[in-house]
Amino acid sequence: MPPPVFRFAPSPNGFLHLGHARSALLNFDAARRGGGRFLLRIEDIDATRCRPEFEAAVYEDLGWLGITWETPVRRQSDHLADYRAALDRLAALGLLYPSFESRAEIAALVNARETGGIWPRDPDGAPLYPGAAKSLPARERRLRSGAPFALRLDMDAACKLAGDLTWTERGSGPNGETGAVVARPEIWGDVVLARKETPTSYHLAVVIDDALQGVTDVVRGHDLFWSTAVHRLLQKILDLPQPAYRHHDLIRDDAGKKLSKSSSSTGLRELRAGGMTAEEVRRLTGLL
Ligand code: GLU
């Protein structure tokens, strides 16, 4: 049996906090225990929010925690051609279409539709795409005009092509879901898989990278539990192997909210500057 492959995949759009430490340590410890490999991946496709100083801080903070990783580290912005190739495959299957609305136009469309009741939201609370771009007659012309666009997955068509899907959950979902979990990607609507200025998206890049890096075990927070349905769908359509998933609960602040990268009280750099040790971080995150 080849060794299991784990990864920690932060986005360098802020400094890491205790929640990241917990997730990174859970992955690192599991890899060590199972005689496996531990990879670090930098998910920096959002050029407007990711910054080199945050990436440098990731290495420093993880090193402080005693975590070691294989090099070279995969940085997503270095591999845009891989994501473009996957988009080309999806396009060839007729599963992508461009939409042109701005965020404000989407909000206005949702408002207009809400006169008839609440418009459906995805698990992150964002309204499902309400536009009509899928059947827009002039879309090729608008594309050629150079207008900004988002490439969306035709979710109905993708689900029909993929058929029923489950994923293997070795942890549990927010409501205790575990084992073979039924994937319901349709709850996300026609997700954006790329934009004119960024030829990929979180969902697409994560699936391609996990496959290219041979990741066998995805250990990550509950906040990404429902996204797994979209990941499973893309894996099936693109003929990619499926890792096992283990979603873990999140560390919350005193008000019960998920930690954010901007909250300094739980930031690893602040805790380190305040004299905390890596062992204390392990204790604080429930790992000792
Ligand atoms: N880059 C994602 C984040 O920082 C995590 C991706 C994943 O683990 O699948 O939230």
- Exposed e or buried b per residue across 174-197, where buried means at least 16 C-beta atoms within 10 angstroms of its C-beta: eeeeeeebebebeebbbbbbbeee
Question: Residue 231: which of 134, 151, 166 has the closest Cα?
Answer: 166
- Sheet strand arrangement including 96-99: 96-99, 150-153, 192-195
Top mutation candidate among 6, 8, 11 for ligand 1, by most atoms within 8 Å of CB: 11
Question: Residue 149: which of 113, 90, 193, 110 has the closest Cα?
Answer: 193
- Exposed e or buried b per residue across 6-19, where buried means at least 16 C-beta atoms within 10 angstroms of its C-beta: bbbbbbbebbbbbb
Quick count: other Cβ atoms within 10 Å of Cβ 217?
A: 20
DSSP 198-257: SS--HHHHHHHHHHHTT--EEEEEGGGTTHHHHHHHHHHHTT----EEEEEPPPB-TTSP
Report the separation in Å between the CA atom of 171 and the middle of ligand 1, taken as the mean of its atom positions.
17
Report the separation in Å between the CA atom of 116 and the middle of ligand 1, taken as the mean of its atom positions.
36
Q: Of all atoms in ligand 1, which is nearest to the CA of residue 210?
A: 9
pLDDT (0 to 100) of residue 135:
85
Report the separation in Å between the CA atom of 16 and the middle of ligand 1, taken as the mean of its atom positions.
12
Beta strands 150-153 and 192-195, pairing class: antiparallel
Report the separation in Å between the CA atom of 191 and the middle of ligand 1, taken as the mean of its atom positions.
17
pLDDT (0 to 100) of residue 219:
98
Report the separation in Å between the CA atom of 11 and the middle of ligand 1, taken as the mean of its atom positions.
7
* Token pair listed for 93: 């299957």
The length of the chain, given as a count of residues: 288
pLDDT (0 to 100) of residue 146:
86
pLDDT (0 to 100) of residue 173:
94
Q: In whole angstroms, what separates CA 169 from the centre of its chain?
A: 16
Contacts of 191 (CB under 8 A, 6+ apart): 152, 153, 155, 201, 203, 230
55 C-beta closer than 6 A to ligand 1: no
Class of domain 80-213+222-239: alpha beta
Question: Residue 161: which of 88, 92, 224 has the closest Cα?
Answer: 92
pLDDT (0 to 100) of residue 220:
97
208 C-beta closer than 6 A to ligand 1: no
Report the separation in Å between the CA atom of 78 and the middle of ligand 1, taken as the mean of its atom positions.
17
pLDDT (0 to 100) of residue 270:
94
Q: In whole angstroms, what separates CA 197 from the centre of its chain?
A: 19
Per-residue confidence in pLDDT tens, the chain, 288 aa: 889 999 999 999 999 999 999 999 999 999 999 999 999 999 999 999 999 999 999 999 999 999 999 999 999 999 999 999 999 999 999 999 999 999 899 999 999 999 878 999 999 999 999 988 888 887 777 787 888 999 999 999 999 999 999 999 999 998 999 999 999 999 999 999 999 989 899 999 999 999 999 999 999 999 999 999 999 999 999 999 999 999 999 888 888 888 878 777 789 999 999 999 999 999 999 898
99 C-beta closer than 6 A to ligand 1: no
Which residue's CA is the nearest one to ligand 1's atom 6?
Answer: 9
Report the separation in Å between the CA atom of 223 and the middle of ligand 1, taken as the mean of its atom positions.
9
Which residue's CA is the nearest one to ligand 1's atom 7?
Answer: 9
Cβ–Cβ under 8 Å, residues 287 and 67: no
9 C-beta closer than 6 A to ligand 1: yes
Distances (CA, A) of 28 to 62, 244, 271: 10, 16, 21
pLDDT (0 to 100) of residue 39:
98
Cβ–Cβ under 8 Å, residues 40 and 77: no
Residues 1-78+251-288: name the CATH superfamily.
HUPs (3.40.50.620)
Cβ–Cβ under 8 Å, residues 203 and 230: yes
Top mutation candidate among 38, 43, 231, 242 for ligand 1, by most atoms within 8 Å of CB: 43
- Domain ranges, ordered by start, for the chain: 1-78+251-288, 80-213+222-239
